[in-house]
Structure 1
Amino acid sequence: MPNTQASALMQVIVNLENGEPVFSYKNSAGQPCEGDVTVTEAGTITYQLVDNTGKGLKFAGVGFTTPFDDIIDAITVSADGQYVQMLDLDRTPGQTKFQFVLTNTTNTLMVLSPDPEVKNDPN
């Protein structure tokens, strides 16, 4: 079930399985979830990185396949790379998918997350 609220805090948990990053999510209540958020009013969605890989992961940004759909209005990454904040003014109904882009201290390659979703629901 997606997290539904104006200002959500989601944890992005990254573990290593067989040497590969595996992503999971927890909602504001600390319960496992899919990472999706349904927005019903303007607010900020905050994603906190929980790096259990020992590889020094940090958020570098967020990639959108539809960056001009007006679902998410802006993103910021904290200076330490541990948080991403998405501003959603909830003016445009619809949904958008994205992937987190992460750096690591092991090499210069980027890590991409599976794609969670933000849905603006006018109801």
Structure 2
Amino acid sequence: MSKAAGQAHYVKVNVDLENGEPVFSYRHFNGEPCEGDVTVTEAGTITYQLNDNTGKGLKFTGVGFITPFDGIVDAVTISSDGTLIQMVDLDNTPGTTKFQFVLSNAANTLLVLSPDPQVINHI
């Protein structure tokens, strides 16, 4: 888990192919492996950057939340090229929210779902 008060959070989302299937792994921007989860202690922005190693032209198209009305994450934006997702978390609501990245690909019209990282708010 990443925990840094007063700072933006950055996580690289690596997607590789294993036996023809996408496999997700996460790294802090300093290169250390992580689970993709982020702990927030004050208002800030969480940035996830896609690193597509599949050769399938993956792009972020959305984020699906299991509990979209829990108030943990306040807003989500996706870059026009589909390589960055930014989540705004005002840290007003304590708790944990789980989500999955939704990705398109250039090989077909099917969508790819990631395993579920989470945002944890500590007030």
> Residue in 2 aligned with 1:3?
2
State the one-letter code of the partner of 2:45: T
> SS where residue 56 of structure 2 aligns?
coil
4+ residue runs over 3 A deviation: none
TM-score by length of 2: 0.97
Give yes or no for contact 1:99–1:113 (8 Å, CA) kept in 2.
Answer: yes
- Once residues 16 and 30 of structure 1 are traced to their aligned partners in structure 2, the CA distance between those partners, rounded to angstroms, is 20
Number of residue pairs matched? 121
Give yes or no for contact 1:8–1:28 (8 Å, CA) kept in 2.
Answer: no
Deviation track 1:55-109 (CA, whole Å, cap 9, x = no partner) reads 0000001000100000000000000000000000000000000000000000000
> Residue in 2 aligned with 1:17?
18
Give me the identity figure in percent. 68
> SS where residue 81 of structure 2 aligns?
coil
- Once residues 14 and 28 of structure 1 are traced to their aligned partners in structure 2, the CA distance between those partners, rounded to angstroms, is 15
State the one-letter code of the partner of 1:61: G
> Residue in 1 aligned with 2:34?
33
- Once residues 29 and 96 of structure 1 are traced to their aligned partners in structure 2, the CA distance between those partners, rounded to angstroms, is 25
TM-score by length of 1: 0.97
* Gap regions ≥5 residues in structure 1: none
> SS where residue 17 of structure 2 aligns?
strand
- Once residues 71 and 31 of structure 2 are traced to their aligned partners in structure 1, the CA distance between those partners, rounded to angstroms, is 29
State which drifts further: 106-115 or 2-11: 2-11
- Once residues 72 and 29 of structure 2 are traced to their aligned partners in structure 1, the CA distance between those partners, rounded to angstroms, is 21
- Once residues 50 and 29 of structure 2 are traced to their aligned partners in structure 1, the CA distance between those partners, rounded to angstroms, is 13
- Once residues 108 and 28 of structure 1 are traced to their aligned partners in structure 2, the CA distance between those partners, rounded to angstroms, is 31
**Aligned-pair distance for 1:28?**
2.8
Matched, 1:52 2:53: yes
> SS where residue 29 of structure 1 aligns?
coil
**Aligned-pair distance for 1:48?**
0.1
- Once residues 44 and 104 of structure 2 are traced to their aligned partners in structure 1, the CA distance between those partners, rounded to angstroms, is 27
Give yes or no for contact 1:23–1:113 (8 Å, CA) kept in 2.
Answer: yes
